[in-house]
Amino acid sequence: MDKKTIALGVSSSVSLYKACEIIRLFQKKNIAVQVIMTANAAKLISPQLFSSLSGRPALVDLFSSPKPEKIEHIALTKEIVLLLIAPATANVIGKMAAGIADDFLSTFYLAVRSPVVVAPAMNEAMYLHPQVQENLRQLKTRGVVVIEPERGELACGEEGWGKLASPEKIVDVCLEIIHQSRSLRGVKVLVTAGPTREYLDTVRFISNPSSGKMGYALAEEAAQRGADVFLVSGPTSLTPPAGVKLISVESTRAMAREVEKIFPQVDVVVAAAAVVDYEFPRKFDHKLKKERGPLQLELRPTIDILAELGQKKDQKILVGFAAESEEVVANARKKLKKKNLDLMVANDVRRQDIGFATDFNEITLVYPDGQLEEIGKATKKEISRIIWERIEQIIKKRKIIPSA
Ligand SMILES: Cc1cc2nc3c(=O)[nH]c(=O)nc-3n(C[C@H](O)[C@H](O)[C@H](O)COP(=O)(O)O)c2cc1C
């Protein structure tokens, strides 16, 4: 098997000596480590130490690369399977959250497409500062995994929160993520996302407030786990995740057409789009004038994409979303049966703090045997990780994964 490489960002916390142990633990697992230090970290400890331990020159300065023929901070992104920053100072975390790129490490972070893990270490007051907490929250919503620091004796002599998590724990979390990044290799996935629009005339339509964030997070997570991902999306303002094939649509019927084309090629369908269930039987090909006076509109149910797929699914895995405003679980159970699904993700769209157009969700997973699993409020990125873990269990039972 190819030897994998991770990048280890080291910033200027006293606990940076623990990065030596982190390197050793990765090496024991046959994983090579490329160290990137901040200039301030290089004031606390010589880069020479990390170069010797890792067997590769530690990178510090963006403008004096050991390989000047390459743009090192871009070339390296293609070599690594993960970026770990341990210890991460308040400063590095703030720069990552703000998108500042003024040294090798912060510039590299913006260019990296592999999973990113951050292990903060600092004095308790710094760690609990609302700005630091806000920065960490932002990073989490973007999919960065934060290994929370522990409580203990800190370098400043105080007792409190802010102690770097143990090297063993940090390396275990990273190994788990590296393992996950191959877990859907060979699997073909279709995710639908966003709202649909049903036009009345050339400018007016009915729709819903779906932002597409849940579907995009699911597509991103599947791609990061190595799946081939098709994302059929209604109109959103989101940037498609790296590596997915985006197909943009507007109406429910257009989404149904694209889904039907792709369906025969895929193993798993996750239907997270908030489709409009009704359409106008009559569409005007010009903008209706208000001089017409009162307008009575007729709507009729449009195509039920998931129910159609449920009819012809064979061995494919179908996962649906039930956005409900009453009797959430009971309705989700009914839909799961009616549409012949393998898993239903139910959420309550009455709540303002989760669901439509927010970064958070709180869901109940409903299984065909009637089992329920409640997942507490978490970022959509975290929720999508849990959903894919559950889908992977179904995939294993069905033996869909080609032994990659
Ligand atoms: C001895 C010493 C220890 C420090 N320990 C920490 C720390 O544990 N966490 C932290 O966020 N900042 C710590 N700082 C402050 C940072 O080094 C400082 O904010 C610096 O600007 C961060 O630069 P960097 O993030 O580029 O490494 C420490 C500073 C010194 C001098």
Looking up residue 149, the CATH number of its domain turns out to be: 3.40.50.1950
Q: Can you say whether the dihedral through the CA atoms of 162, 142, 21, 39 is positive or negative?
A: negative
Q: Give CA–CA dist 340/271, Å, rounded.
A: 13
Is 404 inside a domain boundary? Answer: no
Peptide bond into 87 cis (omega under 30): yes
Residue 47 resides in a domain:
yes
Residues 276 and 195 sit within 8 Å (Cβ to Cβ): yes
Task: Find tokens 């873990």 and name the residue.
Answer: 389
Q: Does 37 sit in the ligand 1 pocket, CB within 6 Å?
A: no
What is the average pLDDT across 32-48? 97
**Domain presence at residue 403:** no
* Atom 28 (ligand 1) nearest CA: 13
Separation CA 308–CA 180 (nearest Å)? 32
Q: How far apart are CA 318 and CA 344, in angstroms?
A: 9
Residues 388 and 286 in one domain: yes
User: Stretch 101-121: mean pLDDT, rounded?
Assistant: 95
- Examine the domain organization and report whether 168 and 291 are in the same domain: no
Q: Give the distance (Å) from ligand 1 centre to CA of residue 64.
A: 23
Residue 107 lies in a domain: yes
Same domain, 133 and 19: yes
Shared domain for 241 and 102, answered yes or no, is: no
Domain edge (last residue) among 180, 207, 242: 180
Tokens of 290: 């208000």
Whether this model's pTM surpasses 0.75: no
How large is the average pLDDT for residues 93-97?
98
With a 6 Å cutoff on the Cβ, whether 384 touches ligand 1 is: no
Same domain for 73 and 52?
yes
Residue 74's pLDDT band, with cuts at 50, 70 and 90, is confident
With a 6 Å cutoff on the Cβ, whether 77 touches ligand 1 is no
Coil/strand/helix, residue 130? helix
Distance between Cα 38 and ligand 1 center (Å): 10
In the predicted structure, residue 402 carries a pLDDT above the cut 60: no
In testing the pocket of ligand 1, which one of 8, 10, 13 has its CB within 8 Å of the most ligand atoms? 13
Pair (106, 21) in one structural domain: yes
pLDDT digits (tens, 9 = 90+) for 255-308: 999 999 999 999 999 999 999 999 999 999 999 888 888 888 999 999 999 999
Of 8, 11, 12, 62, the residue with max ligand 1 atoms within 8 A of its CB, to mutate for a pocket test, comes to 12
Collapsing DSSP to helix, strand or coil, 34 comes out as: strand
Of 291-295, 343-347, 387-391, the one with minimum mean pLDDT is 291-295
**Comparing C-alpha atoms, which of 347, 190, 349, 383 is closest to residue 271?**
190
Alpha helices, DSSP H only, in 29-99? 41-44, 47-54, 72-79, 90-98
What's the domain range around 176? 4-180
C-alpha 137/C-alpha 267 separation (Å) is 34
230-248 confidence digits (pLDDT tens): 999 999 999 888 789 999 9
> Is 220 in a helix, a strand, or coil?
helix
Ligand 1 atom at minimum distance from 44 CA: 1
150 and 113 fall within a common domain = yes
Of 23, 388, 48, give the one whose Cα is nearest residue 222.
388
Does residue 290 share a domain with residue 146? no
Residue 354 pLDDT grade (very low, low, confident, very high; cuts 50, 70, 90): low
Ligand 1 centroid from CA 146, angstroms = 18
Residues 98 and 221 in one domain: no
DSSP state of 336: H
Q: Is residue 401 pLDDT above 60, yes or no? A: no
- The set of residues, in sequence order, having a beta carbon less than 8 Å from that of 266 and lying 6+ positions away, is 188, 189, 190, 230, 316
Residues in contact with 169: Cβ distance below 8 Å, sequence separation at least 6, in sequence order: 147
* Tokens 């590095």 belong to residue: 92
Does residue 247 share a domain with residue 167?
no
Same domain, 143 and 256: no
pLDDT > 70: percent of the chain: 97
Query: Can you give the pLDDT at residue 267?
Result: 96
Q: How far apart are CA 332 and CA 44, in angstroms?
A: 56
CATH of the domain at 292: 3.40.50.10300
Q: Is 246 in the pocket of ligand 1 (CB under 6 A)?
A: no
Strands 228-233 and 245-248 come out as parallel
Is 364 within a domain? yes
Of 180, 215, 243, which one is at a domain's C-terminal end?
A: 180
- Pairing state of beta strands 317-324 and 372-379? unpaired
DSSP H helical segments within 80-201, as ranges?
90-98, 104-111, 124-128, 130-141, 167-180
Give me the catalytic one of 74, 98, 125, 156: 156
Min mean pLDDT across 23-37, 110-124, 349-363 is at: 349-363
- The CB of 12 under 6 Å from ligand 1? The reply is yes
Q: Please count the other Cβ atoms lying within 10 Å of the Cβ belonging to residue 166.
A: 15
89 CB under 6 A from ligand 1? yes
Looking at 180, 199, 214, the residue that finishes a domain is 180
CA angle 352, 356, 361 (to 5 degrees): 75
Residue 156 among the catalytic residues: yes
Over the Cα atoms of the chain, what is R_g? Answer: 24
CA nearest to 167, candidates 81, 86, 90, 80: 86
Q: How many domains does the chain divide into?
A: 2
* C-alpha to C-alpha distance for 178 and 311, rounded to whole angstroms: 37
Q: Are both 192 and 70 inside the same structural domain?
A: no
Looking at per-residue pLDDT, the higher value among 203 and 73 belongs to 203
Residue minimizing CA distance to atom 21 of ligand 1 = 91
